[in-house]
Amino acid sequence: MSQDPDDETALLEQLRRIRLHSRIEGPKITLPRDVLADVLARAFGAVVDEEWYLERYPDVAGAVSRGVVGSGADHYVQAGIYEGRMPYRVALDNAGYLETHPDVLASIREGAFRSALDHFVQVGFGEGRTFALASQDSPDP
For residues 51 and 57, the answer to whether their CB atoms sit within 8 Å is no
The pTM (predicted TM-score) of the whole model is: 0.67
**Which amino acid is located at 115 in the chain?**
S
Q: In this predicted model, what pLDDT tens digit does every residue of 96-110 receive, in sequence order?
A: 999 999 999 999 999
Give the H/E segment covering residue 97. Answer: helix 94-100
Would you mind telling me the total number of residues written for the chain in this entry? Answer: 141
Per-residue pLDDT, averaged over 54-69, amounts to 97
Q: Mean of the per-residue pLDDT values for the chain?
A: 83
Confidence of residue 111 (pLDDT cuts 50, 70, 90): very high
Q: What is the pLDDT of residue 46?
A: 84
Q: Which of 15-29, 86-100, 122-136 has the highest mean pLDDT?
A: 86-100
Helices then strands, each counted (H, E), the chain: 9, 0
Q: What percent of the chain has pLDDT over 90?
A: 49
